[in-house]
Structure 1
Amino acid sequence: MHRKDEQEKNYNAIKAYTREGRQTELSATEHLVSAAEAGILTLTITNPIWVTKTRLILQYNSDQTSKQYKGMLDALGKIYRQEGVRGLYRGYVPGLFGTSHGALQFMAYEELKRDYTKYKNMAPEQKLNPLEYITMAALSKIFAVVTTYPYQVVRARLQDQHNTYAGVVDVIRRTWRNEGAPGFYKGMVPNVIRVTPACCITFVVYENVSRLLLGRTK
């Protein structure tokens, strides 16, 4: 399962638990905290998989000194044997900061939806049309990407076995010195183009399936 899908599932579970027995909507802070908790849980479970993915992508066949992996299981085994558990959790600290991406996205989406229904004098539970959901999902995703993208650059560089960094601070210092501010946003535009449509589809499907399931339970 994609990490964002898993985070969304955890977020919805935590949000439902937080709202249990309440008649009022969650506040922006509560949405933010719920999404952050879901992000940390998802990160802890999936970080070794993402380290493996990064190592497999960054293999340079022309570089005979680089580690060569035959596949995911081979990579997991070699990383664990050669670097221990610490190797499987490289990039975990900036990843913790990265949970703010999902947290900001879900908070922005919920707040946009709530403010929009108020503006239209609609009931909070009233269904919107697909275009409205798509617009809110796209805006919340773009907001989250622009706000948190630098952590993805830092994290990927920490996980690259071809470069040695002393830690997060060292990555930030060297990136700033060698590339300036644009270095922290390399690849952001293609990333926005890639992830935004999937996010929109996910939220539209989620909203409609949720309505369908809630309707059946009543």
Structure 2
Amino acid sequence: MASEERSERTVSSTIVNLAEEAKDFREGVKAPSPAFLSICKSLVAGGVAGGVSRTAVAPLERLKILLQVQNPHSIKYSGTVQGLKYIWRTEGFTGLFKGNGTNCARIVPNSAVKFFSYEEASKGILWLYRKQTGNEDAKLTPVLRLGAGACAGIIAMSATYPMDMVRGRLTVQTDKSPTQYRGIFHALKTVFIEEGPRALYKGWLPSVIGVIPYVGLNFAVYESLKDWLIRSKPFRLNEDSELSVTTKLACGAAAGTVGQTVAYPLDVIRRRMQMVGWKHAASVVTGDGKSKAPLEYTGMIDAFRKTVRNEGFGALYKGLVPNSVKVVPSIAIAFVTYEVVKDALGVEMRISD
């Protein structure tokens, strides 16, 4: 009992000390401690990882969203290659990266918070697990990693959701749209004024539900695969050995494939719910001025029901091919970039520690 009280006092003391050090650093009183610098470097590494990975696959990200929300009565994007060619032909090279600035403005803080939250959640869950089992040498299991990843995904997604909301609309609009969002802040302001503050969180529920298997599986599969490869006989590595960058990329690709396949239908529903209330959504997607008005959804279940009833079950996987092509390298690049940047910044703590 005494040891538990000492442990709780130590945690509380650490939090207080970090807060005081941050204040002193802003006021120029003294240099930040190694612990505070480690946290900042971890956040920077996560942000860089998110920005690099998303920019690398920005054209596929835009095509995925266009496929998800296009009007079924006026098909313009019929596949990955055709869709990319159509965007290039009608909007030029810059059209392939439309909405990427907004995406990076969202994903950089999202990725920073996600990776850092995973590290902290992992440590907290491991501490509770060791306390419950009485085994001080216990390691994180795939299920515990899944839980830590789910916590990290929910925290990061909720913190940056309005940015994701307007990013979807900026990505969908074209030069023929009757009303143009001029940028991130203009879109946020316009949605807030015309549709109300709650509109900024349209599709939040399926996002929360979807982020649990998506982010959770990403971290769980990535870390578990790394552990398995280190311990497997073909590699003959000990626990202190490092896998090659190529092997880590393969682990990240596998993690991304599993996570996105499970959570993809929820991503489609989220994106469609985000378009509800935008009176120019249909014309933005089809550009023909004669398309039917977008469906209205009363909630997540209603969106699922109407999508399947009107377009079939396959509609829940619209855009899956470009998303698969996008997610595999994106997740792989994000994980590896995160670890490389942390090594470059000299941070000893890693996501598998």
TM-score (norm 2): 0.55
Identify the match of residue 141 of structure 2 among 17, 20, 27.
27
What secondary structure, in the 3-state scheme, does the structure 2 residue paired with 1:87 have?
Answer: helix
How far does residue 135 in structure 1 lie from its aligned partner after superposition?
A: 1.3
Matched, 1:16 2:123: yes
How far does residue 143 in structure 1 lie from its aligned partner after superposition?
A: 0.8
Aligned residue pairs total 213
Q: Give 2:265's aligned residue.
A: 150
AA at the equivalent of 1:9:
F
Please list the CA deviations of residues 43-71 of structure 1 after superposition, one character each: whole Å capped at 9, or x if unmatched: 1111100111122233366564xx54222
Aligned partners of 1:48 and 1:40: how far apart in 2?
14
Matched, 1:108 2:240: no
Work out the percentage of aligned pairs sharing the same amino acid. 30
How far does residue 179 in structure 1 lie from its aligned partner after superposition?
A: 2.0
Matched, 1:141 2:248: no
Q: Give 2:19's aligned residue.
A: none
Runs of 4+ in 1 over 6 A off after TM superposition: none
How far does residue 184 in structure 1 lie from its aligned partner after superposition?
A: 0.8
What secondary structure, in the 3-state scheme, does the structure 2 residue paired with 1:40 have?
Answer: helix
Q: Give 1:76's aligned residue.
A: 188
Q: Give 1:213's aligned residue.
A: 347
Structure 2 CA distance for partners of 1:124 and 1:60, relative to 1, 3 Å: same
Q: Which structure exhibits the higher relative contact order, with contacts defined as CA atoms closer than 8 Å and separated by 6 or more residues? A: 2
What secondary structure, in the 3-state scheme, does the structure 2 residue paired with 1:127 have?
Answer: coil
Give the superposed CA RMSD.
Answer: 2.4
Asked whether the 8 Å contact 2:203–2:271 carries over to 1, the reply is yes
Aligned partners of 2:320 and 2:248: how far apart in 1?
23
Structure 2: 5+ residue runs without aligned partners? 1-46, 48-106, 131-135, 282-293
Identify the match of residue 320 of structure 2 among 161, 185, 188.
188
Structure 1: 5+ residue runs without aligned partners? none
Please list the CA deviations of residues 73-130 of structure 1 after superposition, one character each: whole Å capped at 9, or x if unmatched: 1111121123322111111000101212011111111121222222235433421122
Identify the match of residue 86 of structure 1 among 192, 198, 215.
198
Structure 2 CA distance for partners of 1:75 and 1:118, relative to 1, 3 Å: same
* Alignment map for 1:192-207 (pairs within 5 Å): 192-207=324-339
TM-score (norm 1): 0.86
Larger radius of gyration: 2
AA at the equivalent of 2:189:
G
Aligned partners of 1:125 and 1:177: how far apart in 2?
53
Aligned partners of 1:46 and 1:190: how far apart in 2?
24
Q: Give 1:37's aligned residue.
A: 151
Aligned partners of 2:241 and 2:340: how far apart in 1?
12
